[in-house]
Structure 1
Amino acid sequence: MVIVAYPGAAYESAVRADGALGELRRISVELRALSAVAKAASRPGGRYEASDPTRTVTVTVDGRRQVRDVSVDPRWAERISGGELGEALAAAYGAAVLRALTSGSAAIDEAWAGTDRAVLEREVDAELEALRPRPVEPGDLRYELERQLEQNEMLLRYGDSPAAVPAPAPDATVSGPGGFVTVVVSDGQVADVRVLASRIPAMATNGTIAQEAMAAFRAAARAGAA
Structure 2
Amino acid sequence: MRVVIAEDSVLLREGLIRLLTDRGLEVVAGVGDGEALIRTVHELAKDEALPDVVVADVRMPPTHTDEGVRACVALRGSFPELGVLVLSQHVEQQYAAELLAGSTRGVGYLLKDRVAEVREFVDAVVRVAGGGTALDPEVVQQLLSRSRKGDVLAGLTPREREVLALMAEGRTNAAVAKQLVVSHGAVEKHVSNIFLKLGLAQSPEDHRRVLAVLTYLNS
TM range (shorter): under 0.3
Normalising to structure 2: TM-score of the pair? 0.22
Rg larger in structure: 1
Structure with bigger RCO (C-alpha 8 Å, 6+ apart): 1
Normalising to structure 1: TM-score of the pair? 0.21
